[in-house]
Structure 1
Amino acid sequence: MRALVERFKPPVGVSSYGSVFTDTTEFMSITYGDVISVGGRHYLVMGDERERRFGMEDPKFWVKRCVELESGQYRILKLEFAETFDQHIGPLTIPCHRSAAKEARILRLVEGDPRFMQGKSYRDARGNIVRVLERVAGRRLDLNVEDIHADHRTYFHEIYPGILERFVRACKAIHFLHENGETHGDIRRDHLYVDHASGEYCWIDFDYGFDAAENPFGLDLFGLGNILAFITGKGVHTIQDRAQADPAGPDVSEADCALFFRHRIVNLRKLFPYVPEDLNRVLMHYSSASEVYYETVPELLADLEPCLDTLRRL
């Protein structure tokens, strides 16, 4: 094992080596310099993955940044961490759970499909499911959008149509999961990556599940709506921020805001009058004033895809 480390160790170097783990149950004990042996391969641990949201970093102790010693390639190992929790979305409380088995199923389902992160799953010596993931060669969609240095009008007319076209294809990828009885479970704008080479969108992280008997796909649909509002508005717009930025601007009420996030404006025509009415109607299906909500991806796309033709005519 030391010979493998010496041959393939990363440029940062490893001055002292830890232990070799064939049982990943106690993942908190697996740290920098240790090696995880699973699936006939060996993975040198370089640290814990961190989730970056709202300007903060949260360590994910069950997700390890690794180098596969046999090849020298970068890999992410997600170790089995079963938990149940309540997800609070606006006024709703939704029972959720983290499932390594669910993510392993989806990885098998989407093998070779560039619309999803790629990886394989193995069981360690104790029977825990370890997912060995390839790094997505791209960057988060929300960071890409935030870094576009253009006013909203220029962005909307010149850049947004291409973003929306690729987002439609990303929605069809989620429909593929639904057709196969699976859900993504945690659709957020930081879970959609832009491939550096192709510019296409790639979904990551499938280990969340949720209990919603009335509509098992409902939470995924609202996640898609949140991303749509973000890319259309070139960011999140709230009642409070809008009032501070433009006190004499249009009157915006709770009816113009999202059902689950009562401060986030989805009636974007009030802020940007050049947003076409048909596109704004799609957004308003996600508002607290709506009486009809999308229940399937095809329902959403039936309204959203014609908006691409509208944008091309602007």
Structure 2
Amino acid sequence: MSKEVRDLIQKYLPDYSSSRFGNLYTDTTEFMNIDFSDVIKLGDEHFLVSKNEMERRFGLSDPKYWVKRCKRLENGQLQILKLVFYEKFPMNIGPFKIECYRSPRKEARILDLVRGDMRFMQGYSKSDSAGNNVRVLDIIRGKRLDVWVHNIPVDHRTYFHEYFPEILEKYIGACEAIKFLHDNDEKHGDIRRDHLWVEYGTEDYRWIDFDYAFELYENPFGLDVFGLGSILIYLVGKANLTPQTLHEHGVDPAMLSSLSLGDYSVIIGNRIVNLRKIYEYIPVSLNNILMHFSSSSLVFYESVDELINDMSRILNEIRGL
């Protein structure tokens, strides 16, 4: 098979410098076997694999063996191929137990739905020879929103007054993009801060990764709403604040004595949600939005509409501070 790969690469990439020529794969079922210099064939398209993408969370990096960074031989375009990988796991949020799972076909549907809508990543799906649904994705040139915010080189007070109003306005737009999915009876499924990117040049906010689905019979879109709330808490605080990290952000750890269990997140128990107790200049109206996602809340947002309406109302208030 290496000769076939060699002939393909020499045809399309005559300046290819590596001396290694891998195998040609038309069936991607055993994705762990597909590695650097292999070629994946989907219909009449050929993709040269350069590496596995990485999952970067909590300061750790783990390879995502089912997600390959590739170069399409026919035009030299860099793209990401997401191969079929199934997993299922439970999640608990307050009184709710949620069953989460991966659905490649659900992600393929959303790619079709949002084609041309640059609030979302772009791509298409193709079946390999075994019928696996492979998603072919354009690469977003940009940076994760949380990293973008973290890298703003100012103290929190300056950030909140000078940068946060514009960030909130753009974030409301990102929430409206999720509302578009819900209005079309689709869920993002895995809303978290590393799945919202800021594109270089345009500075547009763009959602990525739609292959998670979930079952929450009490509220079909509830997990998406909780995810949006978690991102908002990060954006307001310019960080995820916990008892262990307060000193890193110039906050006196002695203030912990003023916090009760109800001031923490209903999702991640050590994450502080009642940020007004830390930064007294955060308006009560904004802090009240955050507290809907606290363990003391008796009322949760039922829809993205409700969250958007509340954020929109306080945007002008924040701009006037």
Q: TM-score, normalised by structure 2?
A: 0.93
Runs of 4+ in 1 over 4 A off after TM superposition: 7-12, 88-93
Pick the aligned partner of 1:160 from 136, 139, 164.
164
- Structure 1 distance, partners of 2:152, 2:119, is 23
1: CA distance, partners of 2:62 / 2:224: 23
TM-aligned CA deviation for residue 18 of structure 1: 1.1
Map of 2:261 onto structure 1: 254
**How far does residue 92 in structure 1 lie from its aligned partner after superposition?**
5.5
Q: Which residue of 2 aligns with 1:182?
A: 186
Answer yes or no: is 1:270 the counterpart of 2:274: no
Query: Which amino acid in structure 2 is aligned with residue 293 of structure 1?
Result: F
- Report how far residue 253 of structure 1 moved: 1.4
**1:91, distance to aligned residue in structure 2 (A):** 7.3
Which residue identity lines up with residue 246 of structure 1 in the other structure?
A: D
Checking the alignment, whether the CA contact within 8 Å between 1:90 and 1:261 is kept in structure 2 is no
Alpha-carbon shift at residue 4 of structure 1 (Å): 3.9
| Map of 2:86 onto structure 1 | 82
Question: Alignment partner of 2:157: what SS?
Answer: helix
Residue 221 of structure 1: CA displacement?
Answer: 0.4
C-alpha distance in structure 1 between counterparts of 2:186 and 2:14, whole Å? 37
Q: Does the alignment pair 1:281 with 2:288?
A: yes
Q: Does 1:2 align with 2:9?
A: no
CA distance in 2, matches of 1:240, 1:126: 49
AA in 2 matched with 1:256: D
Q: Distance in 2 between matches of 1:181 and 1:270?
A: 38
Q: Which residue of 2 aligns with 1:136?
A: 140
1:2-43 per-residue CA deviation (whole Å, 9 max, x = no partner) reads 344135549883211111111111111111111001032100
Equivalent residues in 2 for 1:155-304, closer than 5 Å: 155-242=159-246, 245-249=251-255, 251-304=258-311
Say if 1:10 and 1:67, in contact at 8 Å, map to a contact too. Answer: no
Written as runs of structure 1 = structure 2, the 5 A alignment for 1:7-22 is 8-9=12-13, 13-22=17-26
Distance 1:10 1:146, change over 3 A: farther
SS at match of 1:249: helix
Aligned residues: 314
Q: Distance in 2 between matches of 1:88 and 1:102?
A: 23
Provide Cα deviations, 1:205-246, integer angstroms capped at 9, x if missing partner.
000011111111110000000000000000011134338951
**Structure 1 residue identity aligned to 2:276:** R
Judge conservation of contact 1:256–1:288 (CA < 8 Å) in 2.
yes
- SS of the residue aligned with 2:189? coil
Superposed, 1:32-71 pairs within 5 Å as: 32-71=36-75
Give distance in 2, aligned partners of 1:97 and 1:74.
Answer: 28
> Residues of 1 paired with 2:132 and 2:56: CA distance?
27
Q: What is the alpha-carbon distance in structure 2 between the residues aligned to residue 124 and residue 287 of structure 1?
A: 45
Q: Distance in 1 between matches of 2:112 and 2:121?
A: 11
Segments of structure 2 that go 5 or more residues without pairing to the other structure are none
Whether the aligned pair in 1 keeps the contact of 2:160 and 2:236 (CA below 8 Å) is yes
Shift of 1:277: 1.2
Please state whether the residue corresponding to 1:122 is helix, strand or coil. strand
Letter in 1 for 2:62: D
- 2: CA distance between counterparts of 1:60 and 1:118? 20
1:249 is displaced (CA, Å) by: 2.7
| Corresponding residue for residue 151 of structure 1 | 155
Q: 1:15 to 1:296 in 2, by over 3 A?
A: same
CA contact (8 A) 2:10 2:16 kept: no
**How is 1:95-114 mapped onto 2 (pairs within 5 angstroms)?**
95-114=99-118
Q: 1:305 maps to what in 2?
A: 312
* Amino acid corresponding to residue 188 of structure 1 in structure 2: R
- Residues 40-92 of structure 1 show CA distances to partners (whole Å, capped at 9, x for unaligned) of 21000111111111111111111111000011110100011122222355775
